[in-house]
Amino acid sequence: MKITVSYRPTAQDWADYRAGLCLTGQGAIVSWFLKNFVLYWVKKYAMEWYDLHKDQIFACRMTFSEKSILIETDRYRGNIPKNLFSFFWANDKVLILFTGRQESRFVPRRAFTEQEWNQIEKVYLESE
């Protein structure tokens, strides 16, 4: 498997990423209140933050293989072995790659074709 995706995050992508971080809670159960009110606030704040800082958001290219993920931006290049990620989380909007306790990367779901997404699910999400 070798899948390469390139994308420039939009405000909606950023909001979905921030909401996804809340949803993972690294094992927490999501209550009705969290889903309906807190996520609305998180997405609203994330979109406002994006509008103010969009010049700091860089296009990204990621190449996924069975053993590693190559991450490339204008300012960063790293080939990270799969086993160095603490875990992977996804919903219908975003894939979040946790590289540490307070560190993560994300890929908008729209960056993948349906076939690529099926491969990502098998290699990265079902192995969790």
Sign of the CA dihedral running 125, 115, 69, 7: negative
Sign of the CA dihedral running 40, 128, 80, 95: negative
What does the pLDDT read at residue 87?
85
Per-residue pLDDT of the chain in tens (128 residues, 90 and over written 9):
787 878 788 888 888 888 887 766 543 445 556 666 777 778 888 889 889 998 888 899 999 999 999 999 888 899 999 988 888 989 899 999 988 777 888 999 999 999 999 999 998 888 65
Within 8 A by CB and 6+ apart from 73, the residues are: 58, 59, 60, 61
The vertex-94 CA angle with 73 and 66, nearest 5°, equals 65
What does the pLDDT read at residue 120?
92
Read off the pTM. Answer: 0.69
What does the pLDDT read at residue 34?
60
CATH architecture of 2-125: Roll (2.30)
Residue with tokens 């190449």: 63
